[in-house]
Amino acid sequence: MTTYFRPSIDALSPYVPGEQPASKVPVIKLNTNENPYPPSPKALKVLQEIPGELLRRYPHPMAREFRQAASQVLGVPADWILVGNGSDDLLTMIIRACTEPGRSVAYPMPTYVLYRTLAQIQAADVVEVPYPEDYTLPVEALVAAGGAVTFIASPNSPSGTEIPVELLDKLASQVTGVVVIDEAYVDFAETSALDLVKRYENVIVLRTLSKGYSLAGLRLGFGVANPTLLSGLIKVKDSYNVDAVACAVGAAAILDREYKDENAEKVKKSRSEMVTALNEFGFEIWPSQANFLLVRVPASVRAEWLYQQLKERGILVRYFQQSRLADKLRITIGTPEQNAALLDNLSSLLQKS
């Protein structure tokens, strides 16, 4: 059979994002970890007032305005920041710049599935190290894996568990390749590993505006690392990888830290209420520092059945058809009203079963 593609592309099973129903369809969407609250009013004002001239010209290749704003908010120099079209764009740059056949990618499992997909596109070898049931970081096994790149999501998805900074520090000190600490959910957590970038030349911390800042549709993320590590990534990035609108709107959003923190507090409050309620229903829940919960469903039901039944009732949660996750669901924290609707439906479904 003829093929148009490289063998690694023919062999690839593509990444499957969570369902995105048309916005007119009234569903309670608790499947892709979006923030249930609207973006900052200051960011929306910038969006509404975008001048035509900003769109007529090419954007700044390094997203200067956003980079400056992020530098101010994080207290790191602007040349330690690399901006991308979502943090997924940073993942792509890292894989492209650092890996190829013979230069492997390592990460603990289960985690963000895109790490595997991007490594396979690059035809890099993949070393997957299983997490234990309590999601303690398997530092020794990851060091032994010898990845040219090691990915750690903290808080991790789909478990929601946070990796203690001491363990990330230990990993960074023992690994020779690049250590990527993906902090997509840091806005809902109590700690960050950002300081490690100052101590280790091989560490890059990734952040996104998709979760904490309610801007998943804008596509804006960034990496923080020393300029030496960033220099190689800049070589492989698309010339204009961040559009002018995302740059301007994102700058206003990240400067409105107060608004982001208020919403994160609301989510965290709902998270602890959901833990209590789901525990009473007989769900087993992993300790989450993110805006979602990984839950093992009660023994009386199957996770896939529950997912389907909720879907028929207009509530989307995430079910992963993976060996370790077949009896679990990942549930995004919604507004109090959305959470209450979920609990109501779960209550009647569990009684029925």
Binding site for ligand PLP (CB under 6 A): 86-88, 112, 153, 157, 182, 184, 208, 210, 216, 221
In DSSP terms, 128 is beta-bridged to 107
Provide, rounded to whole angstroms, the least separation between the CB of residue 224 and ligand PLP: 14
- Of the two residues 110 and 221, which places its CB atom closer to ligand PLP in the complex? 221
Of the pair 213, 307, the CB lying nearest ligand PLP is at: 213
Where are the alpha helices (H) located in the chain, listed in sequence order?
7-10, 41-48, 52-56, 64-74, 87-98, 114-121, 139-145, 165-174, 196-199, 227-236, 244-255, 257-280, 303-312, 336-352
| Cβ–Cβ < 8 Å for 202, 178 | yes
Q: For ligand PLP, which residue has the nearest CB?
A: 86
Q: In the complex, what is the shortest distance from the CB of residue 44 to ligand PLP, in angstroms, rounded to a whole number?
A: 19
Q: Which is nearer to ligand PLP, 254 or 346 (CB)?
A: 254
User: For the purposes of burial, counting CB atoms within 10 Å of the CB of 169, is it exposed (0-12), middle (13-18) or buried (19 or more)?
Assistant: middle
Q: Are 195 and 246 in contact (CB under 8 A)?
A: no
Give the residue with the Cβ less far from ligand PLP, 179 or 216.
216
Smaller CB separation from ligand PLP, 147 or 221:
221
The H-assigned helical ranges of 99-210 are 114-121, 139-145, 165-174, 196-199
Residue 184 Cβ vs ligand PLP, minimum distance, rounded to whole Å: 4
* Least distance CB 342 / ligand PLP (angstroms): 20
Q: How far apart are CA 18 and CA 16, in angstroms?
A: 7
> How many C-beta atoms lie closer than 10 Å to residue 319's C-beta?
23
- In the three-class reduction of DSSP (H, G, I as helix; E, B as strand; rest coil), residue 351 is classed as helix
CB of 309 to ligand PLP, least distance (A): 26
**Between residues 289 and 345, which has the closer beta carbon with respect to ligand PLP?**
289
The minimum distance between CB 350 and ligand PLP, in angstroms, equals 28
Distance between CA atoms of 268 and 299, rounded to whole angstroms?
Answer: 27
